[in-house]
Amino acid sequence: MAPVYKLKFFNFMGVAEPIRYLFAYGGISYKNIEIEDADWPDVQKSVPFGKLPVLEVDNKVLCQSVAISRYLGKLVGLLPTDDLEAAELDAIALTVFDYGTKVHEWFHEQNKERKLLLQKELEERWCPRYLGDMEEIVRQKGTYFGGQKISWADLYFVGIMESIEGMWGSKILEKQYPLLHTIYKHVHEIPAIDTYVSNRPHYKY
Amino acid sequence: MAPVYKLKFFNFMGVAEPIRYLFAYGGISYKNIEIEDADWPDVQKSVPFGKLPVLEVDNKVLCQSVAISRYLGKLVGLLPTDDLEAAELDAIALTVFDYGTKVHEWFHEQNKERKLLLQKELEERWCPRYLGDMEEIVRQKGTYFGGQKISWADLYFVGIMESIEGMWGSKILEKQYPLLHTIYKHVHEIPAIDTYVSNRPHYKY
């Protein structure tokens, strides 16, 4: 019998969106549980390391967006069988996560002076560094992060970039990174993802 | 023929130490390249995302400490064959990395006021949160993060904790987390790791 999957996150995309993509891609049923602000203090005490997302697989609890996405990526056939190729994609997903963390930190910074500093660092250093190097990797590899074949790392990238562009308020890929933008379009053209995106709740980022 | 491995990092433990443990554990030869400060600007331009460690495997370049360690973990037989169990360990390693990042940020903060704030957060929130939850996971699982069998996540944890305790200046596991301290001791009692640790260069953290 297929396991019962329960995804717990908030009512936005964030680092849960790649997980939702992967469920959609695989046609796998899951319960998408959006935690309300009022319930968060209690939920936080109940989950490992006090962080979301978590994915319950029957009675096991997985945490960490990249670990969950890799697991689902294998389940839905989006992980290469070669271990070295798989590790290269792990590194891409982890780097996408790091980049997202930096944008997230800037977005939620309350101190105005520090927020300006973080924005300057993003503009001048981190956006070009992360996206520039990813663009170059795709240029060398072919169409996707893994070469000619789409992988979970591409879905991970696009899921996180939706959130990053939402916070950043700019279609940065379309403007500056044509190969990454092509991945973005290709992922959204997958029928199952297109259907999911067209029907998902209104998530701002 | 076995691949030629070259590990590039600095002359300290940091997020490269678990990689060095895994090479030692597997009895695998590699070139440990310590980048000097003077050479760093040039090296930084040559590596993906401008970050170390990187592991060259023949002519492929792997980045991200967790991705490299997972890859080597599988190579040396320290990765479970069950995908869900493997994902649970991925999540542990990623969480250890996150915790290490927080300690690293505090350690290198130049602004005195912010450094004090980060220290308070570490003491009151992050150390108990991360280490407390890890201790509880090990209590539920058995002896190691994966249960009765040692895994790459245990080696990852101990490698990073050596660095964290070095920066923090305190044997926090020995004082407060008996089950995690047992993992720490067990990993260091593995003959190949013991030999490596006894002979490695003097790394402060």
* Of residues A195, A205, A94, A111, the one with CA closest to residue A159: A205
Question: Which residue's structure tokens are 């554990």?
Answer: B25
**Contact by Cβ (8 Å): B131, B140:** no
CB atoms within 10 A of CB B77: 10
What residue ranges of chain B have pLDDT lower than 50? none
Nearest chain B CA: its distance from A2 CA (Å): 14
Please tell me the predicted confidence (pLDDT) of residue B2.
86
CA pair distance A115, A106, nearest whole angstrom = 6
Alpha-carbon span A130 to A122, nearest angstrom: 10
Distance CA A94, CA A67 (A): 9
A190's CB contacts (< 8 A; 6+ apart) are: A25
Q: Do B133 and A50 touch (CB under 8 A)?
A: yes
Q: How confident is the model at residue B101, as a pLDDT?
A: 95
DSSP-derived letter for residue A9 is E
- Among B15, B22, B49, pick the best mutation site for testing chain A contact (most A Cβ within 10 A): B49
Burial of A154 (0-12, 13-18, 19+ CB in 10 A): buried
Phi (first) and psi of residue A45, to 5 degrees: -70, -20
Three-class SS state of B32: strand
pLDDT 10s digits, A186-202 = 999 999 999 999 999 88
Looking at residue B201, its pLDDT comes to: 87
Q: What is the pLDDT of residue B22?
A: 98
Pairwise CB contact (< 8 Å): A129 & B87: no
Residue A66 with chain B: CB contacts under 8 Å? 90, 94
- pLDDT the model gives residue A1: 79
CB pair distance less than 8 Å for A133 and B60: no
pLDDT by residue (tens digit) across A96-112? 999 999 999 999 999 99
Q: Hey, what are B149's tokens?
A: 């069998």
* Percent of chain A whose pLDDT exceeds 70: 100
**pLDDT for the residue A204:** 83
Residue A50 predicted with pLDDT over 90: yes
Provide the greatest CA pair distance for chain A. Answer: 54
| Chain B residues lying within 8 Å of A88, measured CB to CB | 60, 62, 67
Class of residue B6 by CB neighbours under 10 A (exposed 0-12, middle 13-18, buried 19+): middle
pLDDT band at A33 (very low <50, low <70, confident <90, very high): very high
**What ipTM is given for this predicted complex?**
0.96
> Which residues of chain A make contact with B66, given a CB cutoff of 8 A?
90, 94
Residues from A contacting B (CB-CB < 8 Å) are 48-50, 57, 60, 62-64, 66-68, 70-71, 74-75, 83-84, 86-88, 90-91, 94-95, 129-130, 133, 137
Q: Report CB contact under 8 Å: A75, B64.
A: no
Answer whether A68's CB lies under 8 Å from B83's CB: no
| Contact assignment for B71 to A83 by CB distance below 8 Å | yes
Which residues from A are below 8 Å from B48, CB to CB? 91, 95, 133, 137
The tokens 């309300």 sit on which residue? A36
Please state whether beta strands B5-9 and B31-34 pair in parallel, antiparallel, or not at all (unpaired): parallel
What domains can you pick out in chain B, each with its CATH number?
Answer: 5-77+192-199 (3.40.30.10), 83-189 (1.20.1050.10)
- Closest chain B CA to residue A46: B133
Mean pLDDT of A161-181: 95
Q: What is the pLDDT of residues A101-150, one digit of tens each?
A: 999 999 999 999 999 999 999 999 999 999 999 999 999 999 999 999 99
Enumerate the residues of chain B whose CB falls inside 8 A of the CB of residue A133. Answer: 48-50
**Cis ω before B53 (30° cut-off from 0):** yes
Q: DSSP letter string over B119-180?
A: HHHIIIIIHHHHHHHHHHHHHHH-SBTTBSS--HHHHHHHHHHHHHHHHHTS-HHHHH-HHH
